[in-house]
A = this chain, B = another copy of it.
Amino acid sequence: MKKLINDPDAVTREALEGMAAAHPDRLRVSYEPAFVVRADAPQQGKVAIVSGGGSGHEPMHGGFVGPGMLDAACPGEVFTSPTPDQMLEATKAVDGGAGVLHIVKNYTGDVLNFEMAADLAQGEGIEVAAVVTNDDVAVEDSTYTAGRRGVGVTVLAEKLCGAAAADGRPLAEVAELCRRVNDQGRSMGMALTPCVTPGSGKPSFTLADDEMEIGIGIHGEPGRRTEKLAPAAAVTEMLAGAILDDGPFADGDRVLAFVNGMGATPLIELYIVYRELHRILEARGIAVARNLVGNYITALDMAGCSITLLKLDDELERLWDAPVDTPALRWSA
């Protein structure tokens, strides 16, 4: 196992300590239980947004905490759901009296634990809504889910709902927006190499030197099929084709096109994939009105990429363009 770590059992804790040291101006980190929270939480009168999930997908979710995006993120151990007490304490830390939205990726443990945390928080008088993302078109059920997995759309939903909450919208509207984003978005990923978890020290699966996995999950769980390596144009066609066949995308639509790296794929390759994706969409009469290219929802040191398309409208474009100030996404109006 070749990693820049110390103790395999301390990876999550030590990375959180690094985040806390790097971003003291905008973040606080609680360790018992573990969550990352805006330094200026709670924001009185604003709907708060909390997400979370296993670690190993950085910058998701801790890197998305800050004005205009998440109020708090709950990191589990690597590829392990966070616990209800993390979610409950994070929810209490950010509640400003306007309620809290939980954005939950569809993995069985995450969903169950966020449900329990929501019940507990409501028992303490905090209004909670939850939206589960399930945008991965690769498989209908998977190793860790009943139903589709939640992947790249989660990043977009967190940005868009963060903007809506910053606008002062009420909880029901922010939750409805989140459901709409999830409905209008689709994703699919692929891997050139497996990832290695610090705990096991072993590759999560095997791929021959001339093979890739199409439809991979963000924990190295199996996808649709193992194939021979193909050029970027063919890979992009496979991912985009499956997404376009499944989602609500038609000639004349405009979309946000998100090319995401899995952690070990350099930016030069992601821009080549983006080139292919842009051509495919243009050929179908779909305009790319916004885009995002980079490593945002990763699988440790897996090489590969995912594509997410989100159908846009004026409202979503305005929310996307709204200011955001987090470690990983940062722009002004």
CB proximity to B under 8 Å, residues A214-229: 229
Chain B residues with CB under 8 Å of A332's CB are 323, 331-332
Whole-angstrom distance between the alpha carbons of A232 and B264 in the complex? 18
Tell yes or no: A212 within 8 A of B by CB.
yes
Cβ contact of A18, chosen from B5, B7, B14, B273, cutoff 8 A: B273
Which residue in chain B gives the minimum CB-CB distance to A267? B58
Tell yes or no: A284 within 8 A of B by CB.
no
- Complex contact A4–B298 (CB within 8 A): no
Which residue in chain B gives the minimum CB-CB distance to A288? B21
Tell yes or no: A185 within 8 A of B by CB.
no
Pick from A39-47, A80-88, A120-128, A299-307 the stretch touching chain B. A299-307
Scoring A residues 1 to 17 as 1 if CB is less than 8 Å from chain B, else 0, what string do you get?
A: 01111110001001111
Chain B residues with CB under 8 Å of A301's CB are 264-266, 303
Tell yes or no: A193 within 8 A of B by CB.
yes
Chain B residues with CB under 8 Å of A235's CB are 4
- Complex contact A192–B271 (CB within 8 A): no
Tell yes or no: A318 within 8 A of B by CB.
no
Which residue in chain B gives the minimum CB-CB distance to A57? B268
- Complex contact B267–A59 (CB within 8 A): yes
- Complex contact B330–A5 (CB within 8 A): no
- Complex contact B232–A4 (CB within 8 A): yes
Query: Within the complex, what minimum Cβ distance (angstroms) separates A327 from chain B?
Result: 8
Cβ contact of A298, chosen from B3, B63, B267, cutoff 8 A: B267
Tell yes or no: A108 within 8 A of B by CB.
no
- Complex contact A264–B264 (CB within 8 A): yes
16 further A-B contacts with Cβ under 8 Å, apart from A6-B232, A6-B233, A15-B268, are A2-B303, A4-B235, A11-B272, A15-B269, A18-B274, A18-B278, A19-B271, A21-B275, A22-B278, A58-B267, A58-B271, A264-B303, A266-B298, A268-B300, A293-B327, A331-B332
A contact set with B: CB distance below 8 Å: 2-7, 11, 14-19, 21-22, 55-56, 58-59, 63, 192-193, 209, 212, 229, 231-233, 235, 263-275, 278, 288, 291, 293, 295, 298, 300-301, 303-305, 323, 325, 327, 330-332
10 inter-chain pairs at a CB distance below 8 angstroms, sorted by A residue, are: A2-B192, A2-B212, A2-B229, A4-B192, A14-B232, A15-B271, A21-B278, A263-B264, A266-B295, A325-B331
